[in-house]
Structure 1
């Protein structure tokens, strides 16, 4: 189970690192074509979402890998659950129901990591 959790943590970290870095690197105008939600928020809010995603990605790996404050790993996973719930709600508000399933899958994987790392597979 420990190996499976590391695999899930790594996949989530890579996905959220890429997504967050994209939001940090690209302008709001560049993101608009792929992400309708950016229309209703400021550029600073887009960058904040990107920063949260990058921080969570690092939090999924670094604390556990270094042994420094490993409790941050399940907290990062729990934070990603919240991000995915809010993302799904945003997509539903914008009538983009077809974009909700990835949020559900990623949120479920993050929830799995949070539960297991807080519980039976804690560091």
Structure 2
């Protein structure tokens, strides 16, 4: 199960790192034009903040355990990312973007799985 948790954490880290870097490096208008219509409801600063949280969460899923420095940060990062996905699901639901809810729900379930495993029976 430890290997499964590492794989899931790695997949989550890759997904959130990619999404976060995109939000940090692209202007709000380009994000909106590329299919992220939800960005119309947020300021450019808020979008950059979400991107920064996603990048930090991705780093927090891997580095603390890999370096064996405060590995308790791994489930805390996963908790933060799960809460972020709850927020994303709520935003998409309020906007009526039903097809956009599924990716957020999958990422939420994966993050919750890491939280359960690393706070529970498979802690470091």
Shorter-chain TM-score tier: over 0.9
Q: CA RMSD in A?
A: 0.5
Q: How does 1:1-123 map to 2 (within 5 A)?
A: 1-33=1-33, 34-123=35-124
- Deviation digits for residues 42-63 of structure 1, max 9, x if unmatched? 1000000000000000000000
Structure 1 Cα separation of the partners of residues 6 and 42 of structure 2: 34
Aligned length: 123
Unaligned regions of 5+ residues in structure 1, if any?
Answer: none
Compute the displacement of 1:41 (Å). Answer: 1.1
The runs of at least 4 consecutive aligned structure 1 residues that moved more than 2 Å come to none
TM-score (norm 2): 0.98
TM-score (norm 1): 0.98
Unaligned regions of 5+ residues in structure 2, if any?
Answer: none
SS in 2 for 1:68: coil
